[in-house]
Structure 1
Amino acid sequence: MSARDQILDLKTRMGQSIIGQEDVIDRLLIGLLANGNLLVEGLPGLAKTRAIKAMAKNLDAGFSRIQFTPDLLPSDVTGTEVYTQTDQGGTFRFDPGPIFSNIVLADEINRAPAKVQAALLEAMEERQVTVSGKTHKMEPLFTVMATQNPIEQEGTYPLPEAQMDRFLMHVNVTYPPVEDEVEVIRLVRGEEVAANGGSDVSGKPKPAAIPQDAVFQARAEIGQIHVSDAMERYMADLVYATRTPSAISPDLARWIEVGASPRASLALDKCGRTHAWLNGRDYVDPLDVRAIAHDVFRHRITLSFEAQGDGKTPDDITDEILKTVALP
Structure 2
Amino acid sequence: MSDRTDSATAAFVAHRNLLFTVAYEMLSSAADAEDVLQETWLRWADVDLATVRDQRAYLVRITTRQALTRLRTLGRRRESYVGSWLPEPLLTAPDVADDVELAESVSMAMLLVLETLTPTERAVFVLREVFALGYDEIAEAVDKTPATVRQIAHRARNHVGARRPRGVTSPAQAKGALEAFQRAVETGDLQSLLDLLAPDVVLLGDGGGVKQAVPRPIMGADKVARLLTAGFHRVGAQLSVEPVQVNGCPALAVRLDGELDGVMAMRFDDGLVTGFYYVRNPDKLSRMHSETVVSR
- TM-score bin (small chain): under 0.3
Using structure 2 for the length normalisation, give the TM-score.
0.26
Write 1 or 2 for the structure with the bigger share of helix: 2
Relative contact order higher in (CA < 8 Å, ≥ 6 apart): 2
Look at both structures and tell me which one has the larger radius of gyration over its CA atoms.
1
Using structure 1 for the length normalisation, give the TM-score.
0.24
